Amino acid sequence: MNKFINTLYTNDNLFILNGLNNESIDLIYLDPPFNSKRFYSAPIGSKSAGASFSDMWSWEDVNESYLEKMFSNYPFLVNFIQSIEGIHGKAMMAYITYMTQRIIEMHRVLKPTGSFYLHVDPTASHYLKIVLDKIFGKSNFRNEIIWQRMTGAKGSQFKAKKFGASTDTILFYTKSDEYHLNPTIKLKENDPVMLKKFNKIDNKGKRYYDDSAHIWRNPSMGDRPNLCYAWRGFNNPHLSGWRLSKQRLEEEYQKGNIVIKDDGKLERRKYFDDYDGKTLDNNWIDIPRAMGGERTGYPTQKPIALLNRIIKASSREGDIIFDPFCGCATACVAAQQLNRKWIGIDIEKQAAEVLVNRLSDDAGLFSNFIHRVDIPKRDDIKKELPSFSIKERLHKEQKGICKGCNHEYLIKDFHIDHIIPKAKGGGDYYENYQLLCGHCNTTKGDRPMEYLMNKVKIQDELLKEKLTFGK
């Protein structure tokens, strides 16, 4: 692979995804538009003034060139997505199709050890979870994380006759069982939870808590003759014995974790410095939304502390973090601060401008990144320019039948076509080639397959389904 450079792309993430290598990313976080039927824009005068994106969906948003992949690899998902039209309407069906096309590619670029966090709200989270169960496999679902983004719902939220909505949902999946996770957070020195738990200070000023309840085993735990011994003049009070072996006890004593106090009693100490951290559950109530100096004004900006937690939990230093809907690039900033590499994509030009400003505010932090608007080319697949041998292979595979009109032709009457047109990010490699007869090839031109299918009006049942899909 080429040398990695932190990169911000301004383009449709589907095209960029298509140009990223297989299994090249360690952690994906995405915070896509939620199909909220709103138009978001940044307040005038804020750092992001002028930035906006729409969150209203129609079939126009679906990239038809990429539908083919969904039809052939996930036929069950196609049935499911079609049923959404009857349940929730066309806009939701278009939105879920749009997301599914991208999630298929995200799954492809994620390493087998990788993790995936999808930030959603209740509008579409239940539909997306089904999509993820199918693409990642239901056994790779790890958590539904609830993030409380505010406390005390605003006045306007009480207008609706329902409870105030103050949480977002983050769906956490992994690509396999072989993933890295550190589910603890280190409490800060002045954290109230830490102050309450580590409530004692030793004569060197270090915080600890008294863990003397764990010097001896409880009699209910049964007799343990091998843990019954005399140590520095102390004896186990009953046959259940000490908690530690004699050797471990002495080691702990030497480290200062077991102390013989002035009153002659033993004390066992747990020091804050040795504490791995608090184990997290899926209910995240301690991270407020982006506030104060952190605010760029970018609509829907997420707090850096949230990304910080996800990145620390599911990656290690040097790992590649990827946010395909990066907005003002909170995930990229957090990744950089934590010594990870990153790739961010946003379709809006304004998002890149905000990011570049955001980074120059953090002088020096971001000297080494590039901003691209072109589509990268995969270098993990061999570029194979259309040739006669490719034509022969395809002819055999297609059994001499045109992918458009379904009629049989001689090899000389076929043309090699790019399934995903080059203009839409499709490349020169075998999987992106098919044979079309001269007529079908001219009809299709630089357009997606769906267009050709519509034109030739094939009667075949499956293809008929494709024709009506979303229309």
Ligand X SMILES: C[S@@+](CC[C@H](N)C(=O)[O-])C[C@H]1O[C@@H](n2cnc3c(N)ncnc32)[C@H](O)[C@@H]1O
Contacts of 141 (CB under 8 A, 6+ apart): 129, 132, 133, 171, 172, 173
Asked whether 24 and 319 are in contact (CB, 8 A), the reply is no
# residues near Zn ion by CB under 5 A: 5
Measured from the CB atom, the residue of 149 and 418 that comes closer to Zn ion is 418
Considering only residues 42, 249, 329, 402, which one is a binding residue for Zn ion as defined by CB under 5 A? Answer: 402
Report how far residue 124's alpha carbon sits from residue 434's, in angstroms, rounded to the nearest whole number: 35
Site for ligand X in 350-379 (CB under 6 A): 351
Minimum CB separation of residue 348 from ligand X in Å reads: 4
Partner in contact with 114, chosen from Zn ion, ligand X, none, beta carbon below 5 to 8 Å by kind = none
Minimum CB separation of residue 442 from Zn ion in Å reads: 10
# residues near ligand X by CB under 6 A: 20
Amino acid identity of residue 89, one-letter, is G
Q: Is residue 181 classed as helix, strand or coil in its secondary structure?
A: coil
Site for Zn ion in 425-454 (CB under 5 A): 437, 440
Report which DSSP code applies to 220. Answer: G
Measured from the CB atom, the residue of 12 and 26 that comes closer to ligand X is 12
Report how far residue 317's alpha carbon sits from residue 180's, in angstroms, rounded to the nearest whole number: 12
Report how far residue 292's alpha carbon sits from residue 362's, in angstroms, rounded to the nearest whole number: 15
Asked whether 208 and 269 are in contact (CB, 8 A), the reply is yes
Report how far residue 306's alpha carbon sits from residue 287's, in angstroms, rounded to the nearest whole number: 7
Site for ligand X in 171-200 (CB under 6 A): none
Measured from the CB atom, the residue of 198 and 325 that comes closer to ligand X is 325
Q: Is residue 415 classed as helix, strand or coil in its secondary structure?
A: strand
The binding track of 306-325 with respect to ligand X, each residue x by CB under 6 A or -, is -------------------x
CA-based nearest residue to 324, from 11, 100, 23 = 11
Longest CA–CA span in the chain (Å) reads 100
Among 59-67, 120-128, 166-174, 395-403, which window interacts with Zn ion (CB under 5 A)? 395-403
- Does 215 contact ligand X by CB under 6 A? no
Closest CB to ligand X belongs to which residue? 327
Exposure b/e, 225-252, CB count within 10 A at least 16 = b: eebeeeeeebebeeebbbbbeeeebeeb
- Does 297 contact ligand X by CB under 6 A? no
Among 87-95, 159-167, 175-183, 347-355, which window interacts with ligand X (CB under 6 A)? 347-355
Site for ligand X in 2-21 (CB under 6 A): 12-13
Measured from the CB atom, the residue of 96 and 437 that comes closer to Zn ion is 437
Site for ligand X in 29-68 (CB under 6 A): 31-33, 53
- Residues found near ligand X in the complex (CB under 6 A): 12-13, 31-33, 53, 298, 300-302, 325-328, 330, 345-348, 351
- Residues found near Zn ion in the complex (CB under 5 A): 402, 404-405, 437, 440
